[in-house]
Homo-oligomer: A and B are copies of this chain.
Amino acid sequence: MDERVREHAEVLVDWSARVEAGDDVVLSVGPDAHELAVAVAEALGERGANLLATYSSGEITRAYLRAHDGDFDENPDHEHALFEHADVYLSLGGGRNTSATADVSSETRRAYNNARTEIRETRLGTRWVSTVHPTRSLAQQANMAYEEYREFAYDAILRDWESLADEMARLKTLLDDGSEVRLVSQETDLTMNIEGRTAVNSAASVAYDSHNLPSGEVFTAPYATEGSVTFDVPMTLRGEPVRNVRLEFEDGEVVDFDAEQGEDVIDEILETDDGARRLGELGIGMNRGIDRYTDNILFDEKMGETVHLALGRAYDANLPEGESGNDSAVHVDLITDVSEDSRLEIDGEVVQRDGQFRWE
């Protein structure tokens, strides 16, 4: 086994999920994530945790959903009970085809997801962490050779997380103390209110309210957004390529938009519900192990020298206890490159210019 696979497993189990002896762990395994699953099983055995492996396959989901009449039972008991008794949920993504469910209708998908709201909430109540095993299918999606992609993925995953967490803590403090954020670049001039909101230092560990490996971003939940922003990082949304989306905000709400490509997808997202036209997240990517776009949001939004904004649902972790933020059925991240001709200001002070933080 490649030593990096074992290191990945150890970072996931120890740094990210803080697994301890006696923890009941659900390990979700993608069809091509087998090798990582073996390494994680070894780490879980060593720590004396209890392992149940589930199988997460797009092809199985597709076959099931297409055959079903669409009238799904609400929160099936067996799956709900599993997560009610789980301490930790580790998801090892890694399929054979990132388009495996492309021909499942969005109505069926939505009905299935809606019928599983409580299971999802219960699962999000565990110490959950999502990661991916670098597979050939992900390499293909990134337009990269397999070996090249593995280098890329492990550069992103095998960081010195402790030291990155320290650096990100600086930005978190500035955001927590600040009231207004302004993002300016060639085609962007956007102000957002963040007063009263708490930033998350997303250091790839549940100890930091961070549930992705890799991570490496600081994010908060903005409101009262004004101005316009262009997202120049290319991505695929709902199976469609999306390029250069421009959003215009008034009073916190999108009042105009266009896109070079994928405008219909953006329209569809904005039409989901009222919350889909407001921002749920402002995130600042700080993982310099990620140095290129790979059309995979798990990596792209953490890339150093990028900023992302999400339309839709805000995360509770950013909000004062008991307060609910922007609510929506969607949370769609869009990314802008800030490495050139840009500045990020908090209450008028420049914190990042052309991708470099003022402490760099």
Chain A residues with CB under 8 Å of chain B are 22, 24-26, 29, 31, 34, 37-39, 41-46, 48, 50-57, 59-61, 63-69, 71, 73, 76-87
Contact = CB atoms under 8 A, between A and B. Distances in A.
B64 A41 contact: yes
B57 A54 contact: no
A85 B45 CA distance: 26
B63 A38 contact: yes
Contact of A24 (B45, B59, B76): B76
A194 B288 CA distance: 74
Contact of A46 (B29, B44, B68, B87): B68
A78 B45 contact: no
Given A57-B34, A77-B24, A64 B45 contact: yes
B24 A37 contact: no
Given A64-B42, A67-B43, A50 B24 contact: no
A54 B55 CA distance: 5
Nearest to A68: B45
Instruction: Please tell me how many copies of the chain the complex holds.
Output: 2
B52 A71 contact: no
Across the A-B interface, give the 5 residue pairs with the lowest CB-CB distance, nearest first.
A45-B67, A50-B76, A81-B81, A55-B55, A45-B68
Contacts of A51: 60, 64
Contacts of A59: 34, 38
A59 B41 CA distance: 9
A24 B81 CA distance: 11
A83 to B, nearest CB: 8
Given A37-B57, A55-B54, A78 B68 contact: no
A207 B229 CA distance: 64
A48 B69 contact: yes
A63 B82 contact: no
Contacts of A61: 41
A76 to B, nearest CB: 4
A48 B68 contact: yes
Given A34-B60, A38-B63, A82-B82, 17 more contacts: A24-B78, A34-B59, A37-B60, A38-B60, A42-B64, A42-B66, A42-B67, A44-B67, A46-B68, A48-B71, A50-B73, A52-B82, A53-B57, A53-B60, A78-B82, A78-B87, A81-B85
Most chain B beta-carbon neighbours within 10 Å: one of A38, A55, A73, A84:
A55
